[in-house]
Structure 1
Amino acid sequence: MIASVASAFPDVSYSQDEVGALLGLDNPVARKLLAAPHIRSRRLFLPPADPVTGRVPDESPAELHAKFRRGALEIGGRAIASSLKAAALTPSDVGYLLCVTSTGFLVPGLSSLFSRELGFHPALLRADVVGMGCNAGLNGMNPLVQWVRNHPGRVALLVCCEINSAMYVRDESARTGMVNSLFGDGAAAAVVTSEASGIRPYVRDFESFCMPDRWDAMRFDWNDDVGKWSFHLDRDIPYVIGDNVSKPVGRLLERNGLRPESISHWVLHTGGGAVIDGARRSLGLTEHAVRHTRSVLRDFGNISSGSFLVSLERLLDEGSARPGEHGVMITMGPGAQIEAALIEFAAGREAQP
C-alpha cells in the first residue's frame, strides 16, 4: 500500500517568459515552446542574474554537480520528511530506502547521503536507480512493493529526486531549447507499507514494455563543445509513446480481469503536452482523466521520475477515490520504455494482501 506521498520543489517559481530571458533562449523553437499553454511555471535552482545582461551566468560542470548535490539534499530531504510525517513515521522506521535520479551522479549515491543526513537506522537497506530517466519511478517502486509483501509490517520509502537545471546546456540549438523549455526541478517521496490509515492505493501488479529499436529517442550525449552532458529528446517521442502505451496497459488489465472502462483513476507521467495527448488518445481517456497530469505539468513542467507521484499526490488530496476502485499509473522514458502499475483503493487494513 502507498501510505503517503509528498513532493518538494525549489522555493523560486519562474514563468516561462522569465526562464527564456534568464537562459537566453532566443531560437525560434525555444520561443514557440515557451509560449505554449501547457506549462505556465517551473521551479528551478538558478543562480542570480547578471544585473547588466539580465541573464544567469553559465555554470561550470563542477558548479552544476555541486548544485545537484545541494539541491537534491534540500528538496529530497523535505519530500522525505513530509511523506514520513503524513504516515506518522520517522526515518528510523524505514527498512528499505530506494532513490531514483537521472540528473546527477554520486558514489555513494543519494540513498547514502540521505541516510547520513536524516537519521535513518544503521540497518537500512539501500538502493539507487540511476540513469533510467522519466520512467524510473515505477522501476523503483516495483522492488519496494515486493519487499513489503515479503516483510509484512515493514516500511519502504521511494524517493525520486531530479535537479534538471543541473543538466542544462546553454547554446542556440533547437535540441537544447526544447529541453530547457520543458524540464523543472522537483522531488517526490512515497511511503510503501502493508497497512495504513485512510483510503489508500494498494499496488496490485506491474507491466513493462520496451522498444529497444528506439533506444536513442531519449538519451544523454557528451557535448565536447561545452564539456557537459546534453539531453536529446526526439521530436517523434509523443507518437512513439502514443502508438505503444496501450500495449503494456492492455496486458496489465487483461491479466487482472479488467477492462479500460473498469479504471476510475489514471496517473500519467507529465512528459509534455504532446506526450499526454498521445497517451490519452491511445488509451481512449477523457480530458478529466488526465486533469492531475495536466495540472502538474502546468505548474512545474516535466520533473522526470517523480512527476507521476506528484499527480498521485493531487489525486489523493482530492479525496475522490473510493474503496474498490481501480487506477493505473503510467511512466515512460529512455529505452524507450513504458511502465504501468495497477492500483486498487482500499481503506486501512483492507489493503493487506
Structure 2
Amino acid sequence: MAHPRIIALATANPVAQFSQEELLTISPYTDERRRGFFLHSGIERRHLYLDKTSFRPTETTDELNARYREGSIEIGCKAIRRALELAACSAQEIDFLATTSCTGRLCPGLDAYFVREFRMKEGIQRVHVGDMGCASAMIALQQAHNYLIAFPGHRALIVSAEICSSTYYLDDSLETAVANAIFADGAAAAILASEGPGIEVLGHMSLVRPEYLGLMGFTYPNGRPRILLSKEIRGIATSMIKTLTEGILARYHLKQEEIRFWVLHSAGRGVLERAQRAMRLSDDDLAFSRGVLRQYGNMSSATALFVLNEVVKSGQASPGDLGLMIALGPGFCAEGALLRW
C-alpha cells in the first residue's frame, strides 16, 4: 500500500514585518528583564497583521476578534492559492479539508470561508482542529493521512492560519511578556495525495501527559485571550520530545543517526537549546528550526509546516532521506510524524 504523501507545501505571512526593537517601541516594557525577552529571544523579526502607522496596544476584544477574522482568512487564502499552484491542481479536486487555528474563534469556521472563497466541491469532508495549540497542524496531518488511507486516490488539504497578534495581553506577569516577545502571525497549506511524487508520511505517534494540563493554553479574563505559558514548559517539553523520538525510532526499527532532517517546532530559543543538549543534536540538525524562529518567530500551529517548507526549499533532501517532525501543544502533548523523501 502506498503511503500518503505531501505533494505541495506553501506558506504566507502578513505584509508588515517588525524587528524586535521596533516592537519594543510600541510595548509598555521599560525594565531590562522584559526587554531582554525580546532582544535575547533568538528572533530578529516577526510578521504581524498590524498597521505599522496606526497600531496602538489598546484594542478592544471586538477589535481583536475582527482583526483575527480578517487576517486569518487573508493569509490562509494566500497559502492555499500558492499550494494549489505548486500541486498544479484545482480547488475542486480537494476531497478533504483540515483547518487549524487556536488564536481566535469563528463560526462558521475557517473551513467554510475557504470552501466559499475557492468554490470547493459541495461534498468536501472537513474538520477543524481548534484548541491543540502549536501541535494542531500535526493533528491535521494525522487526519489527512488517515483519510487518504481510507480513500486512496483522493486529495487532502491542510491549512494552518494563526494571528497570534490578536492574543496579546498586557499585565505585570512575566509569562505574558514572554508570549508578547515570541509569537507571530503566519499561515501554511499542504496538499496530500496517495500517489505521485512528494514527501511520504510513514506514520504518526502522540504523547499526551494530562498531569501537565495547566502549564499551557489560554485563559479569558473579561473575555480577552491571555496566553498561559509556564516556565516549567521548557524542561517538560524537552523530556517529551526525547520520549516521543525514542518511541518513533523503536516503532520503525530505526537509529537516531538515520534521521536526516529534524523538523522541530520552533517553540522558542530555550526549548530548542534544551532539546539539542538532551538529544545530542548538532547545530546543523536544528538549523531549519532556528532559522524559522529567527526570521518569523513562533506562529503557533503553522510553525512546524514552515520548518518543513524550509527543508524543502533548501534542496538538500535526497530520495530515501528520513525526517522526524515534532510539535508541542497544550494538554500537554507532543505530536510526531515520520517522513521520507
Q: Structure 1 residue 28: deviation in Å?
A: 3.7
What corresponds to 2:195 in structure 1?
195
- Please tell me whether residue 244 in structure 1 is matched to residue 248 in structure 2: no
Q: 2:22 aligns with which of 8, 18, 22?
A: 18
Q: Structure 1 residue 274: deviation in Å?
A: 0.5
What corresponds to 1:158 in structure 2?
158
- Please tell me whether residue 106 in structure 1 is matched to residue 106 in structure 2: yes
Instruction: State the secondary structure of the residue aligned to 1:288.
Output: coil
Q: Hey, what's the Cα distance between the residues in 1 that align with 2:53 and 2:215?
A: 33
What corresponds to 1:208 in structure 2?
206
Which residues of 2 match residues 219-238 of structure 1 at below 5 A? 219-224=217-222, 227-238=223-234
What corresponds to 1:148 in structure 2?
148
- Please tell me whether residue 4 in structure 1 is matched to residue 8 in structure 2: yes
Q: Structure 1 residue 23: deviation in Å?
A: 2.6
Q: Structure 1 residue 326: deviation in Å?
A: 1.0
What corresponds to 1:253 in structure 2?
249
Q: Hey, what's the Cα distance between the residues in 2 that align with 1:337 and 1:182?
A: 20
Q: Hey, what's the Cα distance between the residues in 2 that align with 1:332 and 1:48?
A: 31
Instruction: State the secondary structure of the residue aligned to 2:123.
Output: coil
> Is contact 1:29–1:178 with CA below 8 Å preserved after alignment?
no
Q: Hey, what's the Cα distance between the residues in 2 that align with 1:230 and 1:57?
A: 14
TM-score normalised per structure 1: 0.92
The range that moved more, 166-175 or 299-308, is: 166-175
Letter in 2 for 1:215: L
> Is contact 1:183–1:302 with CA below 8 Å preserved after alignment?
yes
Q: Hey, what's the Cα distance between the residues in 1 that align with 2:72 and 2:28?
A: 25
Structure 2 unmatched runs, 5+: none
Q: Hey, what's the Cα distance between the residues in 2 that align with 1:97 and 1:27?
A: 45
Instruction: State the secondary structure of the residue aligned to 1:181.
Output: helix
What corresponds to 2:40 in structure 1?
36
Which residues of 2 match residues 91-102 of structure 1 at below 5 A? 91-102=91-102
TM-score normalised per structure 2: 0.95
> Is contact 1:29–1:177 with CA below 8 Å preserved after alignment?
no
Aligned-pair Cα RMSD in Å: 1.4
Q: 1:46 aligns with which of 37, 50, 57?
A: 50
Q: Hey, what's the Cα distance between the residues in 2 that align with 1:17 and 1:173?
A: 21
Instruction: State the secondary structure of the residue aligned to 2:292.
Output: helix
Q: Hey, what's the Cα distance between the residues in 2 that align with 1:213 and 1:126?
A: 31
| Deviation string, structure 1 residues 4-59 (Cα, Å, up to 9, x no partner) | 11100000110001111123233443201111151000000124556xxxx71411
| Deviation string, structure 1 residues 215-262 (Cα, Å, up to 9, x no partner) | 1111211224xx412001111211111122111211111111111111
Instruction: State the secondary structure of the residue aligned to 1:179.
Output: helix
> Is contact 1:22–1:49 with CA below 8 Å preserved after alignment?
no
Q: Hey, what's the Cα distance between the residues in 2 that align with 1:84 and 1:68?
A: 24
Q: Structure 1 residue 294: deviation in Å?
A: 0.4
Letter in 1 for 2:155: V
The 1:23/1:259 distance shift into structure 2, 3 A limit, reads: same
The 1:137/1:159 distance shift into structure 2, 3 A limit, reads: same
- Please tell me whether residue 69 in structure 1 is matched to residue 69 in structure 2: yes
Instruction: State the secondary structure of the residue aligned to 1:157.
Output: strand
Count of equivalent residues = 337
Moved over 6 A (4+): none
Instruction: State the secondary structure of the residue aligned to 2:288.
Output: helix
What corresponds to 1:278 in structure 2?
274
Instruction: State the secondary structure of the residue aligned to 1:10.
Output: coil
